[in-house]
Amino acid sequence: MDFETWWLIFVPLVFALGWIASRVDIRQMLSETRTLPNSYFKGLNFLLNEEPDRAIDAFVEVAKLDPETTELHFALGSLFRRRGEMERAIRVHQSLLSRADLPHADRESAQHELAQDYLKAGMLDRAEQAYEQVLDTRFAVPAVRALIRIYESEHDWPRAIEAVKKLRALVDEPVPQLAHYQCEQAVAALSANPPRLDAAGAALDAADHAAAPLRGQKAGQASEARIAMLRAQLARMDGKPEAERAYLASVLDIAPEYASLVAPSLLESYRRLGQQQEGLSLLMTHYQRYPSLDTFNVVFRELRTQQGLGPAWAFARESLRAHPTLLGLDRLLEAELATRDGQAEGQGGDAKSATPASLPGGVPFGEQASGADLGLLRSLIHRHTQRLDRYACNVCGFEARHFYWQCPGCNAWETYQPRRLEELK
């Protein structure tokens, strides 16, 4: 191949141009670096060394020296909010919004950040106003979700329902708690003086419609059970005992794990209709398939009332063998001591002359332990079972003696299982 002489000029020229370009870039970088305050690099170094307090102080100094550093202000505001310094976070974002030259996109971001500051600070009125100002921006979805949380905390269920409708118009996703919002409206109507039965019925119809997409799924059992329980309450207040019983019994089929919540009311509804034996038989059959402590307690007490202590203790013995729990034993001892006290009162207060209860097989219970021994045993067991006789949220772990559809600790819905702590272990 012939050697081209012009290559002797072209190749060195390319290298020279590349060298000049690199020198220009280096000089530009050095020039930009010299314009940054030393506090900026100190702040970065503190962040890398996981010293956020000293990093914040360094960045604050940079912000004072150069108020135009928008990105740095956003970073400072986020750091303040994470540390719980809400007043400082609010001031940072308010100072950004006060700038007339702030770009439109940055203004929307600052408004959204300020709304988050207000929400975390518990300033719900201001948070609501701030979120409403970004409903027509790219932050519409998180803003609507935040508004839903605000309306929930204020128990403003009509506005929460409207906010859910806005959310569903923006994103195609189910909102399971919508049925509970309708149920809360029904509870308010039933609790009014006088009760507003028509309004409660309309709210429950809306709850049925909201729960329809999850009907038949495990995820929808809680809302279905709650709707049935409220319809039973409505039927009772409307003078329809048979409808009340039907709604309560339906919980055993549509949400069998929630039977423990309706067992006392269900048995009472059968009793009002003079069918307590059928009610007891239904609960005993359900307990064999879905054992729970509260249902066990209801069945045991009703067996004592209808059939006497022998059948009740036979049921209890078999149940505790299959599902041994300290809470179950505690409830048994409580019932036994209550019976002994009643027998003693019926015989003029002479506890010693009370007829001893008999265990299955005809063995008198009094031969196993005296009343004093039983009282001591029950007090010792009860002391240990107090911490187990609670419901617990499976999200935040908040414990409560009463069952909640919405956790009082983290405000999440359907996080309580209808079982006591001991049954979950």
Q: Which two tokens stand for residue 393?
A: 């949220």
Higher pLDDT pick, 101 / 346 = 101
User: Over 50: is that where the pLDDT of 110 sits?
Assistant: yes
Q: Is 216 exposed, middle or buried (0-12, 13-18, 19+ CB in 10 A)?
A: exposed
CB contact set of 215 (below 8 Å; sequence gap of 6+): 224
Q: What is the pLDDT of residue 343?
A: 58
Q: What is the pLDDT of residue 26?
A: 41
Q: What is the pLDDT of residue 46?
A: 54
DSSP H stretches of helix in 157-258:
157-170, 178-191, 197-211, 221-237, 241-254
Q: What is the pTM of this model?
A: 0.76
Q: Directed axis angle between helix 241-254 and helix 221-237, to 10°? A: 170
Nearest to 247 by CA among 228, 221, 233: 228
Q: Which of 31-40, 90-99, 225-234 is most confident?
A: 225-234
Cis amide prior to 418 (ω within 30 degrees): no
Strand 391-392 with 399-400, pairing: antiparallel
Q: What is the pLDDT of residue 34?
A: 44
Q: Kindly state the helix (H) or strand (E) to which residue 399 belongs, with its residue range.
A: strand 399-400
Q: What is the pLDDT of residue 29?
A: 40
Query: Which parts of 70-185 are beta strand (E)?
Result: none
Q: How far apart are CA 325 and CA 316, in angstroms?
A: 11
Mean pLDDT computed over 338-348: 58
Q: Directed axis angle between helix 197-211 and helix 178-191, to 10°? A: 170
Q: How far apart are CA 310 and CA 358, in angstroms?
A: 6
CA-based angle 92:98:102, to the nearest 5?
95
In sequence order, the β-bridge partners of residue 400 are 391
Q: 110 and 102 in contact (C-beta within 8 Å)?
A: yes
Q: Among residues of the chain, what percentage have pLDDT more than 70? A: 71
Q: What is the pLDDT of residue 354?
A: 40
CB contact set of 110 (below 8 Å; sequence gap of 6+): 74, 93, 96, 97, 102
Mean pLDDT computed over 365-391: 62
Chain segment 78-96, per-residue pLDDT in tens: 878 988 889 988 988 888 8
In Å, how far from its chain's centre is CA 421? Answer: 16
Mean pLDDT computed over 71-75: 76
Higher pLDDT pick, 314 / 40 = 314
The total number of residues written for the chain in this structure: 425
Average pLDDT, the chain: 80
Q: Which two tokens stand for residue 282?
A: 């239904």
Q: State yes or no: 183 annotated in a binding site.
A: no
Q: How far apart are CA 384 and CA 402, in angstroms?
A: 18
Lowest mean pLDDT of 16-20, 28-32, 110-114, 230-234, name the range.
Answer: 28-32
User: Over 50: is that where the pLDDT of 42 sits?
Assistant: yes
Residue 244: pLDDT band with limits 50, 70, 90:
very high
Q: Kindly state the helix (H) or strand (E) to which residue 32 belongs, with its residue range.
A: helix 7-35
Chain segment 119-163, per-residue pLDDT in tens: 999 999 999 999 999 999 999 999 999 999 999 999 999 999 999
Mean pLDDT computed over 311-321: 84
- The single-letter code of the amino acid at 274 is G
Secondary-structure percent of the chain, ordered helix, strand, coil, rounded to 5: 70, 0, 25
Q: What is the pLDDT of residue 8?
A: 55
DSSP string across 77-121: HHHHHHTT-HHHHHHHHHHHHT-TT--HHHHHHHHHHHHHHHHHT
Chain segment 202-232, per-residue pLDDT in tens: 999 999 999 988 887 777 899 999 999 999 9
CB contact set of 176 (below 8 Å; sequence gap of 6+): 214, 219, 220, 223, 413, 414
Higher pLDDT pick, 318 / 424 = 318
Buried b (16+ CB within 10 A) or exposed e, 342-366: ebbeeeeeeeeebeebbbeeeeebb
Lowest mean pLDDT of 123-132, 263-272, 373-382, name the range.
Answer: 373-382
Lowest mean pLDDT of 84-98, 102-116, 377-391, name the range.
Answer: 377-391
CB contact set of 352 (below 8 Å; sequence gap of 6+): none
In sequence order, the β-bridge partners of residue 391 are 400
Mean pLDDT computed over 362-380: 54
Residue with tokens 């019932």: 335
- The single-letter code of the amino acid at 1 is M
In sequence order, the β-bridge partners of residue 399 are 392
Q: What is the pLDDT of residue 351?
A: 42
In Å, how far from its chain's centre is CA 349? Answer: 49
Q: Which two tokens stand for residue 363?
A: 């063995």
Lowest mean pLDDT of 56-65, 90-99, 178-187, 275-284, name the range.
Answer: 56-65
Q: State yes or no: 396 annotated in a binding site.
A: yes
User: Over 60: is that where the pLDDT of 14 sits?
Assistant: no
